[in-house]
Structure 1
Amino acid sequence: MNESEAVAIIRRAAYSVGGNFRRYQYRVCDPINGGNSMLGLSDFQAVEGKVIAIEEDVVVVQEGRKAIFVAFDLNNLDQVPSVGDKVKVTPYQRRRFDGKRLSDPVEEKHENGFVSKVYHLGEQASKIPGITADASQYLQDMAEQLANLPADSRRRITQVLIDAGAWKKPVQIFDVTEDADTHLLPKLVFHIEQENQKGTLSVTLDRAADAYVVALEEDGKEPVIREDCYFDDLGSVINEFIVHNDDWLKDRVEIIKKAAKKKAS
């Protein structure tokens, strides 16, 4: 979807609708790059409204009765609506290990029983829970890399794991101990549960080689292991193991009400 062409289509669609508004707002939902703001990459929010135009590879939705128009890439919709349909379109949104959106507030419980909601504006990383302040420096560095290293144009490594089902069960954490007789620690084990794939993916630091070992263990299959994986290869290796298509990026379309059929003349 070409953004300048999408804007031109929005303009035509907005004027064709009419209405008593003198100004209107618009946005183009770019599935590849997401939204950009002063705070960094942002995820588009769900839009509910009426499909007012479909031209080339652009679908334009008017949000409610407001003068707000949103363009979506037709090729990125999981189903294509018709002009006049009332729809809810939910673009891809990054999530945390609690299953909630990255943009959702985090609840913090206080000793007096009070619960507060904290918004982290511009949050980009989905941090691994359970990494305490007294964890080894090896483990802290490892968790930091997984949460911050990119896996693709939209996601960090942990967000790829979350999309593959890692949020459904606690992450298993194995740290270095004083009596450990192996150089293959620390180790993090993530639950994987998605269509046609169920098992675990582990990331282990080989301290002797200063590299990672990535292992995919699927139910009923032989483990797939990649050794000597350096930090700048982690994203591509994990993508290769658990990302099989671009369905995660699709805009989810819910057709709330079909357009009325035109009466035959």
Structure 2
Amino acid sequence: MYQQNKTEALDFLRQNMNHVKLGNSRHFTWVYISTNQPINTIGLRTDYKPFEGTVIAADARFVAFRLGRKAAFNVMDRGCLPSVTPYAVDEKLLVTPYAHKDFDGRRLDEPTEEIGEHGCIVRTIIIGLTNVKIPLPTVPESFFIKEIVERLENVTTDQGLRTAAQVLADAGAGAEPVQFLDDDEAARPWMQFAIRTDKLHGYLKITLDRALDYYEISTTNTDGETVEECKEVDFTSLAEVIQEMVDDGNWRIAEVKVLKRAA
């Protein structure tokens, strides 16, 4: 399906390039932006970068942008764009597609800096994505809490696009510190995350039933009232169940800012 959509996006671009002046360029470059995660030139997962572009065409399925005066274009799937923007031809926009982010809202591919020995600045450049890590207020001693964390950080959904931990980060779980029962003797160790989406404004609790080796996932609103419960969840289904209970789909929608209105 992705390859078919990409082919149709290229056809759409070619059909709408007649009025675009490319100067002496005989060739053009283009990128198709959808919910599929791109792969960089060395085969690592990456994210789309924000871009400034001028709309050259739009229909019910695609919006095509020219990047500056270069013979370079982006074609975006309308499913990744907010529906409230008209996308008028010649409108200049700043578009920020979905990117994997940490619980504090920072992009995972954002370079980091820290002070090294002798006061030198160490700058780390990320060339491929790593899975988001769950920020715990304290280091757990419980083997079972560590196991829950490890599974949340590695089991995936959305055809491998996001881990369960990423689903939680995208659902606003960084709004409050993560809570957990740090007791190796507990028969039902648990972790709780804040959720801030259009689907749920409250909390999601993951409880491990050690006797059955299954998980119980429940959601509550801010008043403590149970919204939904799902029992006997095996670890391979964690990400899908969590996504179904908290995800409103807004994470996939790009941020769009109008830089210049069409004449």
Tell me if both proteins adopt one fold, taking TM over 0.5 as the criterion: yes
Hey, what does 1:239 align to over in structure 2? 243
Give the superposition deviation at 1:62: 0.7
| 8 Å CA contact retained: 2:57, 2:65 | yes
Correspondence list, 1:46-195, <5 A: 46-55=50-59, 57-78=61-82, 79-110=85-116, 115-130=121-136, 135-153=141-159, 154-177=161-184, 180=185, 182-185=186-189, 187-195=190-198
TM-score (norm 2): 0.85
Does residue 256 of the first structure (1) align with residue 259 of the second (2)? yes
Note the aligned Cα RMSD (angstroms): 2.5
Q: 1:239 to 1:56 in 2, by over 3 A?
A: closer
**Amino acid in structure 2 at the alignment position of 1:184:** R
- Counterpart of 1:28 (choices 25, 32, 39) is 32
**Amino acid in structure 2 at the alignment position of 1:156:** T
Hey, what does 1:222 align to over in structure 2? 225
Does residue 203 of the first structure (1) align with residue 179 of the second (2)? no
Q: 1:137 to 1:107 in 2, by over 3 A?
A: farther
Q: Which moved more, 1:87-96 or 1:8-17?
A: 8-17
Segments of structure 1 that go 5 or more residues without pairing to the other structure are 261-265
Identity %: 31
Does residue 43 of the first structure (1) align with residue 43 of the second (2)? no
Give the superposition deviation at 1:7: 1.4
Q: Which moved more, 1:34-43 or 1:162-171?
A: 34-43
Hey, what does 1:19 align to over in structure 2? 22
**Amino acid in structure 2 at the alignment position of 1:258:** R
